[in-house]
Amino acid sequence: MTPADSPSAPSNVVPPAPGSSRTIIVKEYDFFKVVQDYLERASRTLDLADFVRAILSQPKNELIINFPVKMDSGDVRLFKGYRVQHNNLLGPFKGGMRYHPSVTLDDVKALAAMMTWKCALMRVPFGGGKGGIKFDPHSVSKNELQKITRRFTHALGENIGPEYDIPAPDVGTNSQTMAWMMDTYSNMVGAANKQSVKGVVTGKPVASGGTLGRAKATGQGAVFCVIEWAKEKGFDLEGSTMTVQGFGNVGSHLAVILSRLGVSTIAVGDHTGYLLNPEGFNAHKLQDWVETHGSIAGYPGGKAITREEFFKTKADIFAPCALENQIGETEAKNLDCKVIVEGANGPTNPAGERILLERGIDILPDVLANSGGVTVSYYEWVQNKRSESWTEEEVDAKLEKAMTRAYREVADFARQHKVDRRIGAYGLALQRIEAVYKEREIFP
Ligand code: GLU
């Protein structure tokens, strides 16, 4: 597979010049700048107080930790870990830990800010944070992965905590990663406090203090948004089609849950390539395959296609559930769908977005569409505090109510202020944060 086929290929890669074998990236995609621009636009719509805009335009804390780990070979390797704490006005910093070779400080800053918007939008009493380690988790052994996670958690020390900053899974991490983080943290706080710090991370395995319904929560939340969109548009989901980019935790659950509503997934892609099946994939089987094999590669039920063919595949719904900056101008022109549900954070770049909006394609923006994850993280944290275990039905019912309300609030706000849904979602979040800043004012 060439890099241009991978989901992470930015659309600003220039092919090698004649006589040269080097691919030139003209300009790195500046994800943080993109998020700052959205903040700027939404602030103007609202006439947001200058001091609030200024505070939110930068994270509160940015932490970079270089830490050594002894690998299986006996060699010591140095890793670079990040934790960015964007804002904690509404509650503890909250957000995932990403393990990926492309992790940069600026991307983590963008993702941390988006967590602040998501929590405010969902009325979850948390702020925003994000972290990660720059490495490929698939390139190390399970033993090494555990040591990397534990050493990073130890190095973070007091910078995380159940009332201060609460990590969760993100790209490249999962419930196992969270179990190691929680266990490490609980061994750092002294015997008497071990039980009370379960809530230092969310997205834990259920037996270790996680909640039912968290694994599928991001996909499930996105489904509730799609259902609301279908109601709004008078669109019948039964018999409709979808393409999904990224078949990990978010994309696979989204496809499985929507398949029960009669939506068939006809094309999928991940870091190994793209597959087409006009008859519709068996989402369950594909999910099991990815669980066992780590990717969609080699799945027998589909025909290999290129990234370009994938983006040209006609379907009613497109669900980008991989990484940021996947839909640029080319992809936006090629996409033949009615709605885009952003399971990933930042999958549509501003140039792509402009074209999609001109073409009348609806976008259910990331800060709304994938906020089911952090919402159920909050339910997990509450259960940990109260030593309770809710049923999956309770969790799902609460999430449905929260997502449906947020969907409608965003739609109303966007209509009232004559802005698109992304700016609408930002605007609503900012309005809530501004109200609290105006009440509390600035210390001292
Ligand atoms: N990483 C997820 C996100 O981007 C979940 C964060 C959380 O549960 O704290 O929203």
Distance 373 CA to ligand 1 centre (A): 5
- State if residue 370 touches ligand 1 by the CB under 6 angstroms criterion: yes
pLDDT value, residue 28: 74
CA separation for the pair 4, 306 (Å, rounded): 9
Closest residue by Cα to residue 33 from 356, 349, 318: 349
CA of residue 375 to ligand 1 center, whole Å: 9
Cα distance between residue 404 and residue 225, in whole Å: 7
Closest CA relative to residue 118, chosen from 170, 68, 191, 157: 170
Write the pLDDT tens digit of every residue in 142-197.
999 999 999 999 999 999 999 999 999 999 999 999 999 999 999 999 888 988 99
Q: Which of 170, 370, 376, 395 should be mutated for ligand 1, with most atoms under 8 A from CB?
A: 170
**Taking all residues of the chain, what is their mean pLDDT, rounded to a whole number?**
94
* pTM of the entire predicted model: 0.94
- Which domains, from first to last, does the chain contain? 1-47+216-370+420-444 (3.40.50.720), 60-205 (3.40.50.10860)
Ligand 1 pocket residue status of 173, Cβ below 6 Å: no
pLDDT category at 298 given cuts 50, 70, 90 is very high
Work out which ligand 1 atom sits closest to the CA atom of 98. Answer: 1
pLDDT of residue 5: 40
Ligand 1 within 6 A of CB of 95: yes
- The pLDDT confidence band at residue 27, using thresholds 50, 70 and 90, is low
Q: What residue type is 135 in one-letter code?
A: F
Residue 130 known to be catalytic = yes
* Strands of the 128-133 sheet, one edge to the other: 61-70, 76-87, 128-133, 93-99, 165-169
Which pLDDT tens digit goes with each residue over 320-355?
999 999 999 999 999 999 999 999 999 999 999 999
Among candidates 192, 203, 234, which has minimal Cα distance to 98? 203
Q: Let me know: does 340 contact 397? Beta carbons within 8 Å.
A: no
